[in-house]
Amino acid sequence: MLPFRPLPATPMQSAVHSPRRQVGRRISVRTTPTTNWRRSGSPVTPDSPSSPLHSPLSSRPTTPTDVHSAVSRLLGLMKQLQEVLHLWGMRQATQAQVSDAFVLVAAQFNTTVNAFYRHSIDMSDLYDIIPDLREVLESCLGEDPSPQALEAYMPDVRLVIYRLLTGLRSKQGPYWQVVASSRRASPLEPNRKT
């Protein structure tokens, strides 16, 4: 069983969640702890030389204009999570590896939310994405790894990812409005003297 490490209290935790089906035994998928997200004894960590996982710690946006790269990283990590989950269903990846991939997605999701927040874009409608994804993964990983278990839970995983993509798409308009208005408010001045 994977250890449970709760996230720090955030508005995301107060979101109302829809009930999910309860099948098989339940396990816990790790979440990002407040101090150090790595777990000792984990077979794959983002810092290990052979790891296919990329650490979100090195991918935090450094400027408010890094929304594009934060979203790109989040989408890449979501794809990576799906690939690791597929490998788990084929018994080629462990629960710990799926959990590690989830931790990276959760951390990058927080980074992405913060990047949008720096542009004053409300992301509260997406706060339930990570808890819902975690719940689906816990149910899935509670089953024995098999293509049938994967087939049973992938529609729920895809639904959560679809909700994320739809939500991110809905933020494009407000984001570009903020960017355009900030460019109008402070036009770039050439560095050359005439």
In the chain, what are the domain boundaries? 55-184
Residue 4, CB-side half-sphere exposure with 13 Å CA sphere: 8
Q: What is the pLDDT of residues 55-85, one digit of tens each?
A: 444 444 334 458 989 999 999 999 999 999 9
- Residue 184: the pLDDT is 77
> At 113, is the secondary structure helix, strand, or coil?
helix
The model's pTM? 0.65
* Dihedral angle of Cα 6, 11, 14, 17, to the nearest 10 degrees: -90
- Banded model confidence at residue 35, pLDDT cuts 50, 70, 90: very low
How far is residue 166 from each of residues 69, 73, 94, measured CA to CA in Å?
A: 18, 17, 30
> At 77, is the secondary structure helix, strand, or coil?
helix
For 32, the token pair is 């990002």
